[in-house]
Structure 1
Amino acid sequence: MSNAATEPGGKYARVMLKISGEALMGDQGYGLHPPTVQRIAEEVKSVQRMGVEICMVIGGGNIFRGLQGSAQGMERTTADYMGMLATVMNALAMQSALESIGVFTRVISAIPMDQVCEPYIRRRAVRHLEKKRVCIFAAGTGNPYFTTDTAATLRASEMGCEAVFKGTKVDGVYDKDPKKFADAKRYDRVSYDEALEKHLGVMDATAIALARDNRLPIIVFSLDEPGGFRGILSGQGTYTRVDS
């Protein structure tokens, strides 16, 4: 499958949806908010019904943030592994929500835990996608010191996705926090190098560099906007495209 760029509104065959664990909290301070999880599942279903094959990576910040644990004196590697386990919990919650509305889903973990999900085998995962199953990649890359942003970019590259769609709280990439600064400027399009040089907070530097090396566009949009994911794929809505 080619990684050739396709503009939103064109036909994507396979995409990666990256969302943070915090996106599943709703208005709560932590944990899972079932109505929010269900709403995101409905968004994913609506895109799948367009004929798009969907991969997902969900962060674990709503349950445990590795860096916070490290800052409190916990050894960093242990804290990161705990964060990876949190992503598995979120992936299972999303799987349950998707399957409750008739979407066949597989949770695929970089850390083997056969009782609850499949181990990561690239060819098997590709086959699931070809059978129109949603694949949720959990436990990051399976290694400490790497974020779920990097995991999303890595898996998207391995799966032959045509773009990484990063769902956030805002409708694109800004030069500063639009929730704090009324004069924040939104970018319609930005290069990988500019995102790195200006520290625009699209993704971490490793993820952006990996996307650049594999010519994998990153589409940043608001996941809080109902119908936003489908809208972007239909050529509507507001977003920022990060590419070369």
Structure 2
Amino acid sequence: MNDDLVLRIDGTRPLTADAVAAVGAVCDSAEDRGGRSRVVVRVSGAPEGPRPDGLTVALVSKWERALRRLERLPAATVAVAEGGCGGLALDAFLATDYRIATPSVRLMVPVEAGVTWPGMALYRLAHKGAGTAAIRRAVLFGTPLEADQALALHLIDELTDDVAGALAAAEPAGGPTGFELAIRRQLLFDAGTASFEDALGVHLAACDRVLRRASAAAAS
């Protein structure tokens, strides 16, 4: 789409305030447009060598909060990954609604001083398949996830050489947008941990909003 908002994340780059600001800026734009524009997150690259000095937990916290904002946007988010994908690129890739990758992709949890980086990418990987051997190896030992493995584990939704065609096909058609899309995404997030009784009230409230909107539209 011509009105897509595009965010580019280079996984070879260290975490900086500029990276946090870039995520914040695209979130600002998506919110300003009321969810009418899709956000396309293009990621590639993985850290090379040791992490530069100067990284603080405060900056990591700002980055994780920026990604959480991206993950909860009132807009559809689609990621495109190519080649090695680690560090900031893996973080952003896992925080999107729909994930497209080329066959060259390898999802890589960075390893430093013999241990994997314990950021929220580990949390998202675990939520999608903590019981699988491939994800355990990735989280504990930094073993890369090859494209076919990531597809089988549903970390990738579509594996293709035709990225343009996949992006065109991934355009939402007739589904919820804006605030309503964000609500349904949150219902999905919560379903894995909430009991039926705890979830029922939230789902009924969402149903009530839909019925009220339908009634208002019919009366106008």
TM-score by length of 2: 0.30
Structure whose alpha-carbon radius of gyration is higher = 2
Give the helix-richer structure, 1 or 2. 2
Structure 1-normalised TM-score?
0.27
